[in-house]
A and B are shown apart, each in its own frame.
Chain A
Amino acid sequence: MLKLSRQEIIFLLILCVTSFLISIPLFTQSIRLDEAQSIWISIKPTPALMKTVSEDVHVPLYELILHIWMQIFGTDILTVRIISFIFFGLSLPIIYVLFKESKDIKVASIGVMFFALSPFVLWYATEARMYSMLIFASSLSNLYFLRFLKSNSQEGKLGYFLSTLLGLYTHYFFLFLIFSQMIFLLTKLFLISFRGSNFKQTFRFIFSQPTFKIVSLSIFIGIVLFLPWIFYVFKSGLAANTQPLIPKPSTFNIFQTLMLFIFGFQTNIAQAVLVSLWPLTAVCLFLIFDKKHKNYLEHGEYFLISLILPIITTFLISFIHPIFLSRYLIFVSPMLFFLIALVLSDYIGNFAKIFIPMFMITVFLFATNQDISAANPVRENYSGVTRFLNIYASYSDIIAVTAPFTVYPIEYDYHGMARIDTIPSWNRFTNGPIPPFSKNKLVSQVDGYQQNYNHLFVIFSYDQGYENKIQTYLDDHYKLLYSKTFSYGLSVREYQLRYG
């Protein structure tokens, strides 16, 4: 499957170890909301797990694997995160071989290095979520798809089918990869056949091609095998109550996604500045089309299409129903690194000698900033919150979490005596959605607290549109004793309810 020389294996092992060492600060970070949710779901018995996932916006394979993993190794966050890193490590040789078979060893080495050290990729390689598994599945799919095309439909059939199935059960966004592959194949066949013939002849030619038949059949069987899950999701109500609140994207998000792949999560201002540097990419276009250098599009056309198409498609769909999230698009990140490596590898010489180390140092600095900066907008210091609560909240106090679904990471780490509630009040153990926020209910809920508790600790994170209303009401009616921000958008405010 993957033919690697000893030197290549050593190179990939060194790369994997380097990535691991760089990721240590990430491994030791606080549990994040999504991770807590994954653990909360995966810890359940299988039928309940399947039911909960079907009511969520994901597919169940990762949670099932995590379920087995936790049965064996336990639920400690560090242990749980290891599974993602394993998928990341397994992706390295696949991506290396994919790049090598698409161009050469030089491009493969540079490309896989960029991938392995990407702050964004490492963030999700150490997060207890399905994203590194999605990279693994999509890389396999890309490898077999291109092998299949290159071998004139001889090699990679089974591998492509299995990786398609794996991908479909890993994340819904895998469908966008399949879509890109089909578009690429159809365009290629169309361009071969269209010259000198009419549309009817062209379509007859395309449909008669074994490449088209086998790819279509693999996708068709994959989707048929995926249908039971879709029916199950339909039966469970189409995740109508648990879909995350995703804003409509702007063109900024397209560029931000590409920047994130390279530089990782930075402060909002830093991200805006990095995106604003886009005119420099126009210079890169000049370098790409320079005579002295090879025709990149010959080698990079598939990578370009499978990078751009999923991003553009999800962007456009988001105007009907917002689904655009950078992390859902992580599976296209290897494509970007291939294209960068393809261009850079051709500029070997003084330029590359200076540029590649400079680029790596810059990326490393950004990675460090991502990992340690408190202003990182995706860093969620729930551990800090629970440490604080463990010390200051007693049995006579109450903790209220808003938004309600952020209760999972608090519960995971909080071992104190205070009761934990959510605003709005939500019973996770009964069927039904999170209740909507209402001012009247808030008043009666807090009045109820006042009867029984001395202090109210409100945890604010993931504003669902009512965070300010809650804070204003509490500030106006109760005495604020203390407030602290633990990470970007995550804060605790302590109020005096009564004097005990």
Chain B
Amino acid sequence: MRITRRFLIINMILAILYIVWWLIPGHVGNLWLYNFLLIGEVYHLLVASLFWHTIWPGERKDLNFFLKRDDFYPSVDIFITVAGEPEDVVKKTVLAAKSIKYPNSKVYILNDGFVSNKSNWRDIELLATDIGVECITRTVGGGAKAGNINNALSQTFSDIVVIFDADMVPYQNFLENVIPYFSDPSVGFVQTPQYYANFSKNDITAGAWEQQELFFQTIMVGKDKTNSAFLCGTNVAIRRICLNDVRGLNEENIAEDFLTSLAIHQHGWKSVYLSKVLSEGLSPEDPLSYVKQQLRWARGSLEVLFGYNPLFKRGMSWSQKIEYLGSALYYLNGVVVFIDMIMPILFLIFGILAISSLTTFFAVFFLPFMFASLYTLNKASEGKVTFRAISFSQSLWFIQIMALLSITFGMKIEFFVTPKKKQAGNFLYLAYPHMIYIILIVIGSVLALFRWGFTPSVATNISWGVFNAILFIPFIKACGNWDLFYDLRHKSLVSNVKSTETVVEEV
């Protein structure tokens, strides 16, 4: 069941009531901290409002295409972007691309291994020869993945180009499903979801997939209704003249897809999001790869927010501007999470209170809003939200802050390609900030209990600390290599059994 307008209105009323609580005079403890919290809550409300806009029930009526037209087979070039991925991964994708059922398509490997100093760039060329597809190897770098694609665009001539990452294995019916939308001449691109075939492999793949699921099955579906679906870098078909219109993919920013979509919409082209899994990919399998991917996305989105603010772009409707803003704003969440999480520590260790109010008075406004918001999220995603997905989103605060700092102070962040093979090792260090937080909460709780006893203020702040800690646990669990712990436990059990056997033998 999808969310209804009625419930969204109720949710909005509860949100307004909640914000009203913050504006009622007499709750201010420490003015600075209170203002920080207030800004955070305003941000939450803004993001929630943008989300409601995305999921507001409605149907799209501006498209005019033929789902079945026998004479409509525009020429298609299928680009598979490669930058050092293992050959077996690339081979699988290329073979799948070759087997796509379509009378007028050609497959290309866009090999960026040479310019990005990957040792297997020659192997990829050999692979292309073996399979019988063309390989375009760049010799002059620049522009990362966007530069690679633009280079290929200059050497090919089809009506439509389809882009797949090296690990995105397309289904045979990909073009059969996607191409009909181009019968509407105003459609610039058709984006399809990213499905992670390895989602059940471990906590990281599962968490990453659950986040993707919410994005592709709820948010993008919502964006499509207002002609605001944007490019996601892979599993997408783009009309060449549309790309020519915007002078190819944007190479200035690591969020090239986002900015290119923005330009496409500014030029009046329409986007379509087809919510049907037509290819299978691989999620990052280890915490480091996952964190790097998130850092890249955060950095890109924040650069868009500060450098190319969608609100000030011409040629787009207000709905489109709002949708772009919503996507870019998401990555400021880390700052708000940080503000929220240090408040209990500031009280428990230093005795500084941001809010001076009867805690239950706050709860009366907060809990209904929270309940309604989670209910909305649950219904809008058709019950697909998981605690782990929320936990991962909240736990990435340090990544989002790093991205923000890097933009603010102009620090360079290396462009990482998300590894498609699991990196070995223990990544618990990625969860050190969260573990330090938990330790601080424990120390603060002990100090506060020692100084003031178990007073209501202490209890509430400890509860908030525990609340944050519980949210971080799935991420900490995903980062640690607990196999080592289980191995040790197993060894100890085995040694116990052995020693028992020895005793029995002696007897």
Q: Which residues of A contact B (CB under 8 A)?
A: 250-252, 254-255, 269, 272-283, 285-292, 295, 297
Q: Tell me whether A276 and B359 are in contact (CB under 8 A).
A: yes
Per CB-CB distance, the 10 closest pairs between chain A and chain B, nearest first, are: A276-B459, A279-B463, A276-B456, A251-B360, A276-B460, A289-B374, A289-B378, A291-B386, A273-B459, A272-B456
- What CA separation (Å) do A458 and B145 show in the bound complex? 89
Judging by beta carbons under 8 Å apart, are B374 and A276 in contact? no
- Which of B11-19, B44-52, B123-131, B464-472 is the contact stretch? B464-472
Check B457 against A276 for contact (C-beta < 8 Å): yes
Contact A278 B363 (CB under 8 A): yes
CA distance A269 to B453 in the complex (A): 11
Query: CA A285 – CA B471 in complex, angstroms?
Result: 12
Asked if B383 CB lies within 8 Å of chain A CBs, one says: yes
The binding surface of chain A is classed by DSSP as helix
Q: Are B467 and A280 in contact, with the CB atoms below 8 A?
A: yes
> Smallest Cβ distance from A291 to chain B, in angstroms?
4
Smallest CB separation, A77 vs chain B (Å): 35
A-B residue pairs in contact (CB < 8 Å), sample of 22: A251-B361, A252-B360, A254-B360, A274-B459, A276-B459, A276-B463, A278-B360, A278-B363, A278-B460, A280-B466, A281-B367, A282-B370, A282-B467, A283-B466, A283-B467, A283-B470, A285-B371, A286-B374, A289-B374, A289-B385, A290-B387, A291-B386
- Interface positions, chain B 325-379, Cβ under 8 Å from A, are 358-361, 363-364, 366-367, 370-371, 374-375, 377-378
Q: Point out the residues of chain B lying under 8 angstroms from A254, CB to CB.
A: 360, 364
Residues of chain B within 8 A (CB-CB) of A277 are: 459-460, 463
Given A252-B358, A285-B370, A291 and B385 contact (CB-CB distance below 8 Å): yes
Using CB atoms and an 8 Å cutoff, list the residues of chain B in contact with chain A.
Answer: 210, 358-361, 363-364, 366-367, 370-371, 374-375, 377-378, 383-387, 390, 454-457, 459-460, 463-464, 466-467, 470-471
Q: How far is the CB of B372 from chain A (nearest CB, A)?
A: 10
CA distance A255 to B360 in the complex (A): 7
Q: Which partner residue on chain B sits nearest A250 by CB separation?
A: B358
Docked pose: A280 CA to B455 CA in angstroms: 16
CA distance A289 to B390 in the complex (A): 11
- Bound complex: CA of A275 vs CA of B364, how far in Å? 12
B426 → A minimal CB distance (Å):
24
Please measure, in the bound complex, the distance between the C-alpha atom of A227 and the C-alpha atom of B184, giving whole angstroms: 71
Given A272-B456, A273-B455, A276-B460, answer yes or no on A282-B367 (Cβ-Cβ < 8 Å).
Answer: yes
Q: Are A291 and B463 in contact (CB under 8 A)?
A: no
Closest Cβ–Cβ distance, residue A420 to chain B (whole Å): 41
Q: How far is the CA of A289 from the CA of B389 in the complex (A)?
A: 12
Tell me the minimal C-beta distance from B244 to chain A in angstroms: 42
Known: A286-B387, A289-B378, A291-B384. A279 touches B364 (CB 8 A): no
| Smallest Cβ-Cβ distance to A294: which chain B residue | B383
CB distance from B392 to the nearest CB of A (A): 13
Report if A250-B360 is in contact (Cβ < 8 Å); known contacts: A276-B460, A280-B463, A291-B386: yes
Bound-state Cα–Cα, A272 to B457, Å: 10
Instruction: Tell whether, in the assembled complex, residue B370 and residue A290 are in contact, meaning their CB atoms are under 8 Å apart.
Output: no
Docked CA distance A282–B366 (Å): 9
Beta-carbon nearest neighbor of A253 in chain B: B360
Q: For A272, list chain B residues within 8 Å (CB).
A: 455-456, 459
